[in-house]
Chain A
Amino acid sequence: GQSLEQPSEVTAVEGAIVQINCTYQTSGFYGLSWYQQHDGGAPTFLSYNALDGLEETGRFSSFLSRSDSYGYLLLQELQMKDSASYFCAVETGNTGKLIFGQGTTLQVKP
């Protein structure tokens, strides 16, 4: 089977740094994406890693280790508006098909 594991909930304070981990077991792997979703609204794309290493986009960074089937999303200088659900998703084939994790709910407290 195919599975992605990520923590269900994370809590952090404003201004802090938080890391959301994702481990995966899939039949194929082309890349790992991260999406953000506020209150059941439209998911929005945050980052994509196809190769090992760190990708940085402003306050958000994403890391991938293909040998460990592991990645993480790092959020720095947390703001209240970062309170949302974060999903990792694996592209399993050369088709754009994504397998999503169950999501991590991040609560940012003042």
Chain B
Amino acid sequence: NAGVTQTPKFQVLKTGQSMTLQCAQDMNHNSMYWYRQDPGMGLRLIYYSASEGTTDKGEVPNGYNVSRLNKREFSLRLESAAPSQTSVYFCASSYDRDQPQHFGDGTRLSIL
């Protein structure tokens, strides 16, 4: 019963390095989401994928790209990491747009 699995759990990068955060779900969900959470803040949507083959921007998409590889997997890429991207990144999925979202345990990313 894995649910939503994110890898890696922790990562430290240097400014300018690139990185892909992986997310996979085994619940046959159609929609997937990437959020970031900064200290003392709520979650902010970076990108989402309403269904396989589609992606769209959220509130804070600048500096990120995504790929919906198949129904199970949705990856987030930082092409040139910046210290402002230091955050905890959460992936989530839902069966459909108006269904509860299920979250992974997060990736804690530090950029020096």
Contact = CB atoms under 8 A, between A and B. Distances in A.
Interface string B48-64: 10100000101100000
Interface string A12-34: 00000000000000000011010
A50 B41 CA distance: 24
A87 B94 CA distance: 18
A89 B92 CA distance: 14
A97 B45 contact: yes
Interface in A46-104: 48, 50, 87, 89, 91, 94-103
B105 A42 contact: yes
A45 B43 CA distance: 13
Interface residues of B, number: 30
A96 B44 contact: no
B106 A102 contact: no
Interface of B: 4, 31, 33, 37, 40-45, 48, 50, 56, 58-59, 88, 90, 92, 94, 96-106
A-B complex: 4 closest residue pairs judged by Cβ atoms? A96-B97, A100-B42, A45-B100, A42-B103
